[in-house]
Chains A and B, each alone.
Chain A
Amino acid sequence: GENVEQHPSTLSVQEGDSAVIKCTYSDSASNYFPWYKQELGKGPQLIIDIRSNVGEKKDQRIAVTLNKTAKHFSLHITETQPEDSAVYFCAAPGGNQGGKLIFGQGTELSVKP
């Protein structure tokens, strides 16, 4: 089955700097890669996703890149702000027809003002 590894587990940046979080997956058939932001005490919020027919997708300050050959995808946040502080999870499909998502271990991002 699919296995998703996420790094780093914690990331601290200064406000205005960029942050990059990386994930690798094992199933070469996976074709959908979402990123979720989870604030304390809340549910995961879908912030951006990418399908395997494109290599990059941007939405304002966030972007996701996908390298299917290497089986990794990354979340890029530019001009970070304190409100970007949260735990970020990547995910990939579980490989069956049920739509299961397999999540990475999470990255706790701290943006210092």
Chain B
Amino acid sequence: EPEVTQTPSHQVTQMGQEVILRCVPISNHLYFYWYRQILGQKVEFLVSFYNNEISEKSEIFDDQFSVERPDGSNFTLKIRSTKLEDSAMYFCATGQARETQYFGPGTRLLVL
């Protein structure tokens, strides 16, 4: 069964550094999302992406965040200058239809 994959599984970085989180969607999926989950809390929406552009973004997704599909397959989330409060689990989700979303295993980001 096809799955969403994410790399790296863990990332430790210093505050102020840039990080790029990568996702490989299920091959025929057209809708792409990033969510995050702070330890012990619920899953929060960050951004949705369709047809090579952002469809919607949350208030968390400020100018420090960006997304792209650099090669038509991978889907990336970049945080330009990380803050301590960016420490969280970041999940990529993809779907054939807009709402039915399949999540990857996540990247645990720790900002020191």
Q: List chain A positions with a Cβ less than 8 A from chain B.
A: 32, 34, 36, 42-46, 49, 89, 91, 93-94, 96-106
Q: Which interface residue of A36, A45, A99, A106 has the most chain B CB atoms within 10 A? A: A99
Known: A43-B106, A44-B91. Contact between A99 and B42, CB under 8 A? Answer: no
B48 at the interface (CB under 8 A from A): yes
Determine whether the beta carbon of A43 is less than 8 Å from that of B33: no
Interface residue count on the B side (C-beta < 8 Å): 26
- Report Cα–Cα, A105/B31, bound state, in Å: 24
B55 touches A101 (CB 8 A): no
Q: B25 within 8 Å of A by Cβ?
A: no
- A43 x B104 contact (CB < 8 A): yes
Say whether, besides A44-B43, A46-B101, A49-B100, A100 and B56 are in contact (CB < 8 Å). yes
Contacts of B35 in A (CB 8 A): 101
- With A and B bound together, what is the CA distance between A28 and B31 in angstroms? 24
Bound together, the chains give a CA A109 to CA B90 distance in angstroms of: 23
With A44-B43, A89-B43, A106-B42 as contacts: A99 and B55 at CB distance below 8 Å: yes
Nearest 7 CB-CB pairings of A with B: A98-B56, A98-B55, A99-B98, A98-B48, A43-B103, A103-B43, A100-B45
* A32 to B55 alpha-carbon distance, docked (Å): 19
Report the separation of the CA atoms of residues A101 and B92 in the bound assembly, to the nearest whole angstrom. 13
Q: Measured between alpha carbons, how far is A103 from B44 in the docked complex, in Å?
A: 7
22 residue pairs bridging A and B, Cβ less than 8 Å apart: A34-B99, A34-B101, A43-B103, A43-B106, A44-B43, A46-B100, A94-B56, A98-B50, A98-B57, A99-B31, A99-B50, A99-B56, A99-B95, A99-B98, A99-B99, A100-B48, A100-B56, A100-B58, A101-B45, A102-B45, A103-B43, A104-B42
Instruction: Assess the A101–B56 pair: CB atoms within 8 A.
Output: no
Residue of B nearest to A100 (CB): B45
By a CB distance below 8 angstroms, the chain A residues around B101 are 34, 46, 99, 101
Max chain A Cβ within 10 angstroms of own Cβ: one of B43, B102, B103 = B43
